Chains A and B, each alone.
Chain A
């Protein structure tokens, strides 16, 4: 497995396109999310030149995981679309708080993994830790994420210190929430 990280402008164009196609397969075809798409690719207004990505590939070059990172002092998903998930608190706006979104680690080519699962354990852990390291290298001290509540279990299992920013909202029958991820293990 290979992990690649970089901004839109530094990732190879072919890999960027494969990642957008992988996101389409995960979030549109598998999870049934109602998202903006074009030509079999899932991309939105937050996929900008300065957006940071972590992409995992198997030995054959197939994308089998991804994560998207955005600084909160520029437009980002929680701030623009889901501010009510902050439980009345102001949305983060700081160069040292980054948002993690479009996190997935479905390995469609692995025979032992359920394609219905958004996550496979070892791969998930590697991508998550790489995303945290990547964000920290760009100045992040905390991450915030908007996710289905299932990601909270995952974060706990991987030993990441995470806690809720507020109650879940029910969207299409499924609870989503905002979750803080503390990069400093001693952080409250």
Chain B
């Protein structure tokens, strides 16, 4: 039976061209602590795909942080995907796959599209 993974070597991962699918803000509502304090962090998710066959899907969590007088989403989770990194003839495992994908994501400018999408989605 298919495992559901799309297997890629490290070079393939490093050359992934990702397209933005959707981003959103976490909508669970404010977390109110017992002493009445309210958590004010703005967090959310972003989803990206490739247009190849089969399509790859990668998503991760972000948190809005102020960087140099600008609000900027920063990745705060490991990537979640249908990718399995292959090293030699063997699966490298989820942790090494996440690390390789994370490195690739951190080299992308995903923040601009995510931020823009969030602004448009929640502006009306």
B118 within 8 A of partner (CB): no
Assembled-state Cα–Cα distance A31/B27 (Å): 11
**Count of chain B residues with a beta carbon within 8 Å of a chain A beta carbon:** 32
> Looking at the complex, which one of B28, B34, B55, B94 makes contact with A167 (CB distance below 8 Å)?
B55
Say whether B55 contacts A87, CB under 8 Å: yes
B36 within 8 A of partner (CB): no
Say whether B55 contacts A168, CB under 8 Å: no
Say whether A168 contacts B82, CB under 8 Å: no
Say whether B21 contacts A175, CB under 8 Å: yes
Interface positions, chain B 55-114, Cβ under 8 Å from A, are 55-57, 59, 61, 77-78, 80-82, 84, 91, 94
Interface residue tally on A, bucketed by range: 20 to 34
- Chain B residues within 8 Å of A166, by CB: 4, 54-55, 57, 82
> Looking at the complex, which one of B2, B49, B59, B94 makes contact with A149 (CB distance below 8 Å)?
B59
A145 to chain B, nearest CB (A): 12
Write out, one digit per residue, whether chain B residues 35-60 have a CB within 8 A of any chain A CB (1) or not (0): 00000000001010100011111010
A148 to chain B, nearest CB (A): 10
* From B61, B84, B94, residue with most partner A Cβ within 10 Å: B94
Assembled-state Cα–Cα distance A6/B97 (Å): 38
Say whether B57 contacts A168, CB under 8 Å: yes
- Chain B residues within 8 Å of A174, by CB: 24
Closest to B23 in A: A175
A161 within 8 A of partner (CB): yes
A42 within 8 A of partner (CB): no
Assembled-state Cα–Cα distance A179/B55 (Å): 15
Write out, one digit per residue, whether chain A residues 76-100 have a CB within 8 A of any chain B CB (1) or not (0): 0000000000011110101001000
Say whether B28 contacts A153, CB under 8 Å: no
Write out, one digit per residue, whether chain A residues 134-178 have a CB within 8 A of any chain B CB (1) or not (0): 000000000000000110110010000101111110100011010
